[in-house]
Amino acid sequence: MRLLIIEDEPGIAGFLKDGLEEEYFAVDIAYDGKTGLDLALINEYDLLIIDWMIPALSGIEVCRQVRKAGNPVPVLFLTAKDTLEDVVFGLDAGANDYIKKPFEFEELLARIRVQLRNKNQNDDSLSAGILNINPVTHQVFCGSNEIILTPKEFALLEYLIRNKDRVCTRSRIIEHVWDIHFDSDTSVIDVYITFLRRKLEAAGAGNIIQTIRGVGYIIREPGVS
């Protein structure tokens, strides 16, 4: 899951990036509104976290421009302000939620999960067939027995399942799971697909990851055509 943080205070930005990367998000940072808007329009993020007070272009203006471009990405506002008018103003500009500074990291995480969950109209746990994964505890179950995955393995599987029944292209996987944005001839994806397939197969999930040659991979929900 790929996030963009638009925040001018390096301390807060760095703290957020570290904390979110520990939760296996791919995180980009922009230190002013203009850069942030450019990044948000060029790349495809799963969530934007925008500070209200930032240089070059206000957070609210960034949000408005993103919406104007027809981009429905969830937006979470970070704000010191808390008067009702300001909140209304922000939500009218197209924000999905806001959180007041100072905030608990746990609360931020919870609100991020809410937004990402809304995206797929699912509850907290994601599933595909017999497979069940929990993004909060980072656990994976095949029926009743747990599959132990490394962080990268988990991130890849989570991305595939969040986008189940859709083809995930190699470039999108490398962007959203590895946060690599330039062309490269790495073969990490192949290797991790092999790792995942081996563990899933051993746990009795069968081979649910299908290859779309020349394009990418897909996990299909069985029985739903």
Residue 125 engages a second copy in binding (rule: CB under 8 A): no
| Strand ranges of the sheet holding 131-134, from the earlier edge strand across to the other edge | 126-128, 131-134, 139-142, 145-147
Distances (CA, A) of 179 to 45, 68, 132, 148: 11, 26, 25, 23
Stretch (H or E) spanning 13: helix 10-22
- Contact call for residue 166 and a second copy (CB under 8 A): yes
Binding of DNA by 140 (CB under 7 A): no
The item of DNA, a second copy, none sharing an interface with residue 167, based on CB under 5 to 8 Å by kind, is: a second copy
**Residue of the chain from 11, 144, 213, 223 that contacts DNA (CB under 7 A):** 213
Q: Which does 193 bind (CB under 5 to 8 A by kind): DNA, a second copy, none?
A: DNA
* 98 forms part of the interface with DNA (CB under 7 A): no
Residue 121 burial (CB < 10 Å; 0-12/13-18/19+)? exposed
Q: How far is the CB of 136 from a second copy (least distance, A)?
A: 9
| 213 is a site residue for a second copy (CB under 8 A) | yes
Q: How far is the CB of 37 from a second copy (least distance, A)?
A: 22
Confirm or reject binding of residue 186 to DNA (CB under 7 A).
yes
Concatenating the DSSP letter of every residue in 132-143 gives EEETTTTEEEET
Q: Does 83 bind a second copy (CB under 8 A)?
A: no
Count how many residues are written for the chain: 225
Tokens of 199: 């563990």
- Specify whether the CB–CB gap between 160 and 208 falls below 8 A: no
List interacting residues with DNA (CB under 7 A). Answer: 84, 150-153, 170, 178, 186-188, 190-194, 197, 211, 213-216
List interacting residues with a second copy (CB under 8 A). Answer: 137-139, 144-145, 148, 150-151, 166-167, 169, 212-216, 225
